Structure 1
Amino acid sequence: MIDYSRGDDGIVTLTLDDPAQSANTMNETYVAAMSAAVDRLYAEREQVTGVIVTSAKKTFFAGGDLPSMARATTGDAPALFTLLSRIKQDFRRLETYGRPVVAAVNGAALGGGLEVALACHHRIALDRPSTRLGFPEVTLGLLPGAGGVTRTVRMLGLAPALTTWLLSGRRLRPADALAHGLVDALAATPAELLAQAREWIRANPGAAQPWDRDGYRLPGGLPAAHLPAFPATLRQQLKGASLPAPEAILATAVEGAQVDFATAQVIETRHLITLLTGQIAKNMIGALFFDMRAVNGGLARPSVEVSEPRRVAVLGAGMMGAGIAQACARAGLEVVVKDVTPQLAARAAGPGITTTADVAALTGCDVVIEAVFEDPELKRQVFAEVLPVLAPDALLASNTSTLPITGLATGVERPGDFIGMHFFSPVAKMPLLEIVVGAQTSDAAVARAFDLGRLIGKTPIVVNDGRGFFTSRVIGTFLDEAIGMLAEGVPAPSIEHAALQAGYPTGPLALADEVSLTLAQRIAASAPVRLPSHDVIDAMVDRHDRPGRSAGRGFYTYESAKSLWEGLAGMATPEGRAVPLADLKDRFLFVEALDARRCLAEGVLRTAEDGNVGSILGIGYPAWTGGVLRFADQHEDFAGRARELAARYGTRFEPA
């Protein structure tokens, strides 16, 4: 896996190149190869003047061996400790070799890949758009356990290491990594990358890590003076949720900063093994690595060959239409945005985007994405207007969040080409695309929509038609549960805090304001069953004129600082009762999990992987669960707990 080559100048180049994989990972092959390479370096030390570590792949190093990590149990802890100690020992031998060692980072270096680079004395990154450096471990329920925490803290100091790198999970561009201290220089070409590495080796024959030099002091000082602030800040960032990985990263950083390097390495290893053998890391790796890889790899894409999109028409230049147009233009597609007037269309103007009010400007477009107001008749009208000028086989897509696709396709000349492409707001930030298949949608249309989604950088899940599809339907149960709690007499702050402590990114009442209570009222009007939440929504909109965030008043007031409206206490029924915090949190998690299971049973969800990924990326289901369906599967007694909730709060919690 590691090619060892020594030049006439005595510089050894170690080239990482796993023959069995498209990317280098910290697997058994790597571990054996690195040990052998370091052994040879020591054996030939007198002939070596320096070392360059680089890669033959498009990326530098992809990180840890996640499939192996996901299988770890508590019984594997001793073997894991031995393995991690060996990896760290080789890194330590490399950085104390007594010769300058340079990482020539020729592509992405994430997680374990960045840890390889940190074990070198100098890091030069190839400055290309695809290159990213960072520690995404926290997003998988893990911590950088091959020296990442120990070295980053010693290099940068406690606060910068935690906030910029370890707790954020950010993947930084080379220039940003340079600005934030983990990269020392940039190179424009691969040749320049290696030339710079050789030049630095010649100029720094006595290179050593900062912490191995006499007089080293931790940047920013020891953590004692600032220690009380760190857990408080982390708790604020987590919004009250208790998540093992961020807490373990903080503990590893703080504890390791107060002891010698070797002891800090042991502390780091022990914390990582605790995470690796726990359920939450397995949940997160399952969803955000395995399920994500399956979804993006086309698990739900029909196996048909289709043409690539070239020219996209977007109907409607509002926030969603403009976001969709910009995403398509950034992917190199030709984009035309149409609205009723040139002035309205101009709202979507940008590089690669033509704006117009003239239907003729859409001539020949092979994809049309409608993003107008959620009115079925209006949507049918705009399709009827543009169909005559489009390419004869153009993909016809509607960006609706709730309206059934089969109904919208009624009256369209080519219902087989009609499909739902539900983007999430804001389009530039939200990674999910929900592709909705109508009763007559063809496999070719599904494949074309999927390919377009991947082309513009989205993760596309494929679901069948139905009221609210998957994401809007399931998040509706979350909002109904929260608003129903108000009717029961649960204090509004308790509702919001319970959701945040369960791991949701925002409180449900705040989310309802963002969605708009007017829209919620319209959706409730067509619901098959009248719920207590619907009465509260009607009262908020009709009696109190509080339609949501866009109007500046909803469950929250927005006049100065955002705060819950004091009138919410009057929404409760007279016989209101206290509800334990554990029940509040479980009601949110279970009501969505139960409905997701119904979606899978009814065929709305085609795959469990789509449900797990869609729930995390699209509707904020807590990532620590591994997704809405995995939460149910891995719960120690899902059916029993569901029946408890049903007995206390209603039959909606009865497990199927």
Structure 2
Amino acid sequence: MTDAIQYEIGPDQILTLTLDMPGQQANTMNATYRQAMDEVLARLHADKDSLVGVIVRSAKKTFFTGGDLNELIRVDASRAAWFYQMTMDLKAQLRVLETLGKPVVAAINGAALGGGWEFCLACHHRVALDEKHVRLGLPEVTLGLLPGGGGTVRLVRMLGLEKALPLLMDGRNLSAQQAFKAGLVDQLASDVDDLLTKSREWILANPSPSKPWDRPGFQIPGGTPSHPKVAQMLAIAPSILRSKTHGCYPAPEKILAAAVEGAQVDFHTAEKIEARYFTELTTGQISKNMIGTWFQLNELNAGQSRPKAPPVYHMRRVGILGAGMMGGGIAYVTALAGVDVVLKDINLATAQKGKDYSVRLLNKQVATGRMSAEQRDAVLARIKTTGRDSDLEGCDLIIEAVLEDRDLKAQVTAAAEQVVVPYAVIASNTSTLPITGLATAVSRQERFIGMHFFSPVDKMRLVEIIKGARTNDMTLARAFDFVQQINKTPIVVNDARGFFTSRVFATFTNEGIAMLGEGVSAVMIETEARKAGMPVGPLAVSDEVSLSLMSHIRQQARKDLEAQGETVTDHPATAVIDLLLNEYNRAGKAAGGGFYDYPDGAPKRLWPELKVRFENADAQIAGQEIRDRLLFIQAIETVRCVEEGVLRSTTDANIGSIFGIGFPACTGGALQFINQYGLKDFIARGQYLAEHYGERFQPPALLLEKALKGELF
């Protein structure tokens, strides 16, 4: 018997199976587990008559995290038949437990996700520890997969299609309390002793349990797909789903198919249907891309981009200069993480407006029951508002978040440096201005760094850390630690105008605007951008950023570059932006209208005059051409960032592009998009686009070099 699953029969004749995969922090459904479970089931069959019941528990901090992603990412089409059979064998193991004729209880002490939660669903009874770290659910869809251990089959039979589908297709994780209210957990326990006591009590009270679907006359709650109410819901489900995924993400569609088809057949046939769809997704490229992203996120969060020598440091008091939307958002996430904040603006009243942003967000949490009034008040008490520099005394981090004006930034950071502790880190939240130049405003330039947050700060999980020419490792390490302290994901890049994310993001918006200037339909541009997997079209997002800000950034860049003796060539988008600003007085959403109109009480709509003033029937191009232009230009600019040393790793590039820019998650990020496209094919397509639409699409030398060597990013 392997140590992976410990087998212990107590004096009360209750068998305890303890999951404890050797050499792993978490239990996974890998080959070791599958072999161990085969041995357990053989022994269980021999001991069955003498047993009262079975408790399944975990020796890890988590209960069971499910499938082994290291194994799944390696499964390709050549191993599809093996993988399908392995999946069916795994389901058969769970089915043996489910039809044992003796009570089987899952004593859930920590996270049970994916295959781990499917294991729990196969048990007759689930008791979960009522603690924060217990998360339960089927997040496979977020990895481009579907539940492959019977999750679609059991969840539909437990809850019915209407309630099961959102849990399956959104990949939502539930707390123990939420799962209990949904009927997915049967009992809650206060501690580990209570967990095991309740498990034993239930076994003794239920000597011969069976699942509802194994009893004669079972009917799925709410009815099968032929039931009029369910049929009505299913009639519109595919179109609603397609409006969300735009066909970029096959997993939600396969989950819908597996659940609906499985609801019309017997349990075993439903498991076969699930296994076939699971195999199709697992062997596909999109799941490989999305699993790769998961691995890269873990690498970043483990400190891959952090200097190794400096010890971890947690900020105690953070000063934020500027209480606008960004400053107010940074104050909120910092205070929420338990750190004291000094929010400074030109005067106390203006600073208080910035704090009011936190008040609104926290009040919403209280109203929805996610936070108590006392917790809200404790967070707000950490935010001190002021109009005086002297109140910044004792801060070990300053984050400047004022307007994109070099002189103003210099003025406020220099003043703050005079009163903070000598070892304080001073950061700028600039989105484009080079950090090395901004650092000249302070005397300790080695303590200066860029810390680029994304809007809205409370929702966007990424922070781009920019290392200036004089920034030392201690400062970089402390900035990295702070980003993790406030529960954000840090990427680290080297200094350059626009850094990485703003620079690449600008290529996306400019390409969309340039197409409009060529006469391409605005509706097509926006629609095809979403079909490509971008969360929003280039015209809509330009309105959000504001055309006036885009113009200001361009003018500042031109001024700086010309001062350095460089020649500046305008992008084709420039003429369109200038027209909207100067001729049509349309500066964006905040100014009342830009590429879109924003009528009161109604959804935004494209400005009708775009069709009249720009669209040309002879200039229309294929949808694929639009999609390629929008994605290729971002990927090519990302390669340039690698070539110029702005990007320090492929991981930073891929994670930064997905979580900072909105590059389609199904691609695995901007560099993985090139890898999976194939470097030679990507180069050929880029050269075609360059020939037809401009030199900006010419593949960089680094890309040509890698293709020649047969290397990937």
TM range (shorter): over 0.9
In structure 2, the partner of 1:541 is 581
Assess, with a 3 A threshold, how the Cα gap between structure 1 residues 474 and 215 changes in structure 2: closer, same or farther.
same
Whole-angstrom CA distance in 2 between matches of 1:626 and 1:27:
24
Residue number among 649, 655, 671 corresponding to 1:613 in the alignment:
655
Contact 1:55 1:61 in 2 (8 A): yes
For 1:273 and 1:121, the matched residues in 2 are separated by 27
- Structure 1 stretch displaced more, 591-600 or 634-643: 634-643
SS of 1:124 mapped into structure 2: strand
Q: Distance in 2 between matches of 1:115 and 1:374?
A: 51
Cα distance in structure 1, aligned partners of 2:15 and 2:613 = 73
Equivalent residues in 2 for 1:274-289 (5 A)?
274-287=280-293, 289=294
Indicate the larger mover: 615-624 or 123-132.
123-132
Larger CA deviation: 349-358 vs 554-563: 349-358
Runs of 4+ in structure 1 off by over 3 angstroms are 573-576
**Partner-residue secondary structure (3-state), 2:11:** coil
**What stretches of structure 2 of length at least 5 have no aligned partner?**
359-379, 559-567, 701-713
1:154 and 2:194 correspond: no
Residue in 1 that maps onto 2:73: 70
State the secondary structure of the residue aligned to 1:463.
strand
Task: Spell out the pairing of 1:243-642 with structure 2 (5 A cutoff).
Answer: 243-287=249-293, 289-306=294-311, 307-346=313-352, 347-348=354-355, 350-525=380-555, 526=557, 528-559=568-599, 560-572=602-614, 576-636=618-678, 637-642=681-686
Matched with 1:231 is 238
Cα separation, partners in 2 of 1:173 and 1:571, compared to 1, 3 Å? farther
**TM-score, normalised relative to structure 1:** 0.97
**Deviating more after overlay: 488-497 vs 642-651:** 642-651
Report what 2:710 is aligned to: none
How far is 1:42 from its partner?
A: 2.0
Q: Return the offset for 1:575.
A: 8.4
Residue 652 of structure 1 is matched in structure 2 by: 696
Give the one of 16, 39, 43 matched to 2:42. 39
1:37-65 deviation per Cα after TM superposition (whole angstroms, max 9, x unaligned): 22222221122222221211111112211
User: Which of residues 2, 5, 17 in structure 2 aligns to 1:2?
Assistant: 5
Aligned residue pairs, count: 653
SS at match of 2:441: coil
For 1:81 and 1:7, the matched residues in 2 are separated by 37
- Counterpart for residue 197 of structure 1: 199
Separation (CA, whole Å) in 2 of partners of 1:68 and 1:296? 22
CA distance in 1, matches of 2:198, 2:330: 41
Partners of 2:247 and 2:586 lie apart in 1 by: 30
Question: 1:173-184 maps to which residues of 2 (within 5 A)?
Answer: 173-184=175-186
Q: Alignment partner of 2:440: what SS? A: coil
Q: Which amino acid aligns with 1:563?
A: R
Counterpart of 2:375 in structure 1 is none
Question: Helix, strand or coil for the counterpart of 2:418?
Answer: helix
What CA distance in whole angstroms lies between the structure 1 residues aligned with 2:438 and 2:15? 65
Which blocks of at least 5 consecutive residues in structure 1 are unaligned?
none
Deviations 1:111-159 (A, max 9, x none): 1111111111222222222222222211111111111111111111112
Q: Which amino acid aligns with 1:478?
A: F
Q: Summarize deviations over 1:335-363 as a string: whole Å, max 9, x none.
A: 22222222222232614222222323221
Tell me which moved more, 241-250 or 103-112: 241-250
Measured in 1, the distance between the counterparts of 2:125 and 2:457 equals 38
CA distance in 1, matches of 2:108, 2:65: 12
Per the TM alignment, residue 565 of structure 1 is displaced from its structure 2 partner at its CA by: 0.7
Q: Structure 2 CA distance, aligned partners of 1:51 and 1:335?
A: 52
**Contact kept in structure 2, 1:488 and 1:576, CA below 8 Å:** no
Backbone CA RMSD of aligned residues: 1.6
- The answer to whether the Cα contact below 8 Å between 2:520 and 2:615 also exists between their aligned partners in 1 is no
Q: CA deviation at 1:576?
A: 5.0
Note the C-alpha offset of 1:244: 1.7
DSSP-derived class of the 1:41 partner? helix
- Identity across the alignment (%): 53
Per-residue CA distance 1:404-442 (angstroms, 9 max, x = gap):
111111131111010011111121211101001111111
DSSP 3-state at the match of 1:219: coil
Give the 3-state SS of the residue equivalent to 1:410 in structure 2: helix
* CA distances 1:160-201 after superposition (whole Å, capped 9, x unpaired): 2111x1111222222222233322232232222222222222
